[in-house]
Amino acid sequence: MVGKDEHKLEQLARELDPGLSSIHLINYVVADLSELSSREVDHIIQKIEKRYGQIDMVICCAAVSKPAMFLSSDISSFHHHMDLNFYAVLNFVHPIAKKMVARGQGGRIALIGDPTVTEKTIPGMAAYACSKGAIE
């Protein structure tokens, strides 16, 4: 798992692996994906692969939601949502996908969108809906 809040990552790891087994089934890296350069992403990927081996599966569920009515919101709100909910995901997943293809063995990538906001209109959710729609 990769996320910016170590406390939440640790809590989730404990929920997913209650005994925190010696095998360490659930591991995490603390990083804010929305602020990482491509070089920093490559470094995190190398660190993960060095410790655990090749990455065969990625589940990406990045999300930020700051509701605001469309006419009273600022365009920067749309940029903020797209930066994390779409571009950070793309920045992280793209090099992993390239490695999967280069190995010739494929892999699995699951990007978590939000059909709730992409299938119907919800007041105040325009920026979020656009960013999650890009993932869908």
Q: Which two tokens stand for residue 82?
A: 């797209």
Q: Phi then psi for 19, rounded to 5 degrees?
A: -85, 0
C-alpha atoms less than 13 angstroms from C-alpha of 90 in its C-beta half-sphere: 11
The pLDDT value given to residue 60: 85
- Show Cβ contacts of residue 83 under 8 Å, excluding neighbours closer than 6 positions: 34
pLDDT tens digits, one per residue of 43-68: 989 988 998 889 999 888 888 888 89
The reported pTM is 0.80
